[in-house]
């Protein structure tokens, strides 16, 4: 999957929040996560990156 320049920027910008979530969980080894923790991680990644994409594109939508 190829990300465009804005999506790549969103991933980089969202990374600290995702890292903070992992720090709060106290786990960095994905293989050691429970199913609930894994789903929480995926949710955090998705929500954080989407929020950053929205910020980037907020003033670029022509309508």
Ranges of each domain in the chain = 5-57
27-47 pLDDT, tens digit each: 989 999 999 999 999 999 999
pLDDT band of 61, cuts 50, 70, 90: low
pLDDT above 90: residue 58: no
pTM (global) more than 0.95: no
pLDDT at 63 over 80: no
Phi-psi group of 26: left, alpha or beta (phi > 0 → left; psi -120 to 50 → alpha; rest → beta): left
How much is the average pLDDT of 8-28?
95
């Amino acid at each position: 999957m190829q990300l465009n320049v804005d999506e790549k920027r969103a991933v980089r910008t969202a990374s600290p929040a995702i890292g903070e979530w992992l720090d709060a969980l106290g786990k960095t080894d994905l293989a050691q996560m429970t199913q609930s923790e894994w789903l929480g991680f995926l949710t955090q990644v998705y929500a954080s990156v989407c929020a950053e994409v929205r910020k980037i594109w907020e003033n670029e939508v022509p309508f």
